[in-house]
Structure 1
Amino acid sequence: MRPQFEHVAVPAGQSWALLWRELPDLPFLWHYHPEFELTLTLNARGQRYVGDDLADFDDGDLVLVGPNLPHTWSAQQRLDEARPMLAIVVWFSRDWLAGLIRALPELAPLWALATGAGRGLCFSPSTARAVRALLPGLHDRDAAQRQPLLLEVLLLLAADAEARPLASSGLGAVEADQQRERIGKVLDHLHAHFHEEIAVDELARRAALSTGAFHRFFKRHTLQTVLGYVTQLRIGHACQQLIQTDKPVGVVAEQAGWRNLAHFNRQFRAHKGVTPREFRARYRTG
């Protein structure tokens, strides 16, 4: 499944968006967007996908995902069957964060938090408990009263020395500048066509750059080469297919973009530390 671009709508008169999502289960919706996303998941147990990272999650899972990093949660098990699953989601832009720090230099630690979120961040149990006690309070406050509470939460996250990155590298950490639209066109194309042969000349044309300038441009904005970026997308897709389908490994490899099964096996083991079959068996037995 290709990751889908998601348009995040910020309500008029507000600078960031809040989603209070109650569901009987969490469907697999592989997607990305240019906003940061902070998600607290309650009364649910399942799998979390962030970039090329796949992990089990439990009640109280707390994750911050950076711009354009593909992600989703998938769960069918509720801890309390009498209540729905709840995902509390906060979306905010890099521009919003930059404006806060310009106006309030005391918030400078949030830059380090934003940088780490490029790979996705999962927080320590103690921080997750502290945020769990605060974040639901956003629901019953008006827009103005939510601001100090969100800042308190973000500063708690920034102070968590035990926060750990999820994806093996950031997939699309885009600077908040006038070139966002240009890199956005390139990333949209890669997310839609990662399973195909990627022509760098075509990407350069979309960015209106020479091939040499495009290589430098792409690495500056994503901290990766085009090949490295595409490989991460393909590995993430392969992980999802191995867990959620019974397709043969060869079919998974081909649909993710590999034409050579041996090369896929080597690449997968290099990124995940196990073979595709071992990876599937580990999650099936779990």
Structure 2
Amino acid sequence: MKPVFAKVPEVVQNDVFAVRTADLPYFSTEFHFHKECQMNYIVQSEGRRIIGDRVETFKGGELVFLGSDLPHVWHNDKWYFEKNDGEIQARSVTLFFDSDKLIELLSHLIPVNKLQTFLKMARRGMKFSGKSKKALTQLLLEMTTQQELAQLVTLLKILELLSATTEYELLASSGYVNTYQAKDNDRMDRVFKYIFSNFTSGIKLDEIAALANMNKQAFCRYFKSRTQKTFTEFVNNIRVGHACKLMTEKECRIAELAYDCGFNSLSNFNRFFREMKGINPRDYKKMISP
């Protein structure tokens, strides 16, 4: 998995923070990382996202914070790319800030220990919930309509809430380390996009290795060294996440669901689902049913 070292909006390179809105037919960024922190609110869209070594589905209403140099991408479902009418279907609002510059500025005014602790923890990525998510989202949206000093005041409110909240889920695993380098090429970005577009059908290892211009053995070593997952684990993680999504959206038989998500047998589906979710598909379906 190879993220590209990315440049965020130019204003952040000159100032301390910036807010960016996206209104697009689909999200089209590559798997990437940057030293700036970001808080990302998905207004409208759905698909799969990768944050560090965490792979799962996303949908509108999600609020996530990413610490410095944490690899990430939001990739839309396949049908987004099949529509060519230009309709806006992917909306997001993102706050970027340079944590080093911000800490330096604030350290002259207030104690910054709590904020530093939060930013260190945020290197694993955080997904917010509850009252904190509601409050943070409202403040972020307010920033899109404000100018200069008013934006700064709102940013300080956001930082205060981030430093105090406990309503979040850490995303990347506790042992996750970003092993990527800016000099890496784009081979794994191609691999990811291929997997996301074809995971419901059989993906052969020799085909995906060829896409990365590597033999199978070299590719497997490279992939696991970057993702901390084997290729099979990674693909099955995506398939299980897709199964969970389908179970929340429509009534479906477990056997049909297994094949719709790309598993070649019901027994494999049950086994991998239980390994990843700690519960079998049938009980999971009952648990989420109203």
Counterpart position of 1:121:
127
Q: Which amino acid aligns with 1:112?
A: K
Q: What's the offset of the Cα at 1:174? A: 8.2
Map 1:76-225 → 2, pairs under 5 A? 89-90=93-94, 101=100, 112-117=120-125, 121-123=127-129, 125=131, 127-128=132-133, 131-132=136-137, 134-142=139-147, 146=151, 149-150=154-155, 153=158, 156-157=161-162, 160=165, 163-165=168-170, 175=180, 177-179=182-184, 181-225=186-230
1:20-63 Cα offsets, whole Å, 9 max, x none, are 88xxxxxxx9998636662277xx9xx998744789x9xx8643
Greater relative contact order structure (CA < 8 Å, 6+ sep): 2
1:49-82 Cα offsets, whole Å, 9 max, x none, are 8744789x9xx8643376135689xxxxxxxxxx
Gaps of 5+ in 1: 1-9, 22-28, 73-86
Tell me, yes or no, if structure 1 residue 272 matches structure 2 residue 277. Answer: yes
Counterpart position of 1:34:
31
Conservation of the 8 A alpha-carbon contact between 2:42 and 2:93: yes
CA distance in 2, matches of 1:276, 1:52: 17
Conservation of the 8 A alpha-carbon contact between 1:63 and 1:121: yes
Q: For residues 49 and 200 of structure 1, do their structure 2 counterparts lie closer, same or farther at Cα, with a shift above 3 Å needed?
A: closer
Q: For residues 132 and 255 of structure 1, do their structure 2 counterparts lie closer, same or farther at Cα, with a shift above 3 Å needed?
A: closer
TM-score, length of structure 1 as denominator length: 0.61
Counterpart position of 1:63:
64
Counterpart position of 1:239:
244
Q: What's the offset of the Cα at 1:216? A: 3.0
Conservation of the 8 A alpha-carbon contact between 1:235 and 1:256: yes
Q: What's the offset of the Cα at 1:240? A: 1.4
Counterpart position of 1:84:
none
Q: Which amino acid aligns with 2:31?
A: P
SS at structure 2 position matched to 1:68: strand
Conservation of the 8 A alpha-carbon contact between 2:57 and 2:245: no
Q: What's the offset of the Cα at 1:267? A: 1.7
TM-score, length of structure 2 as denominator length: 0.60
Q: What's the offset of the Cα at 1:279? A: 2.2
1:204-246 Cα offsets, whole Å, 9 max, x none, are 3222334333223222332221111101100111111222122
Conservation of the 8 A alpha-carbon contact between 2:27 and 2:74: no
Counterpart position of 2:264:
259
SS at structure 2 position matched to 1:281: helix
CA distance in 1, matches of 2:9, 2:64: 23
CA distance in 2, matches of 1:251, 1:170: 36
The alignment yields a C-alpha RMSD, in angstroms, of 4.8
How many residues are paired up?
242
Conservation of the 8 A alpha-carbon contact between 1:218 and 1:224: yes
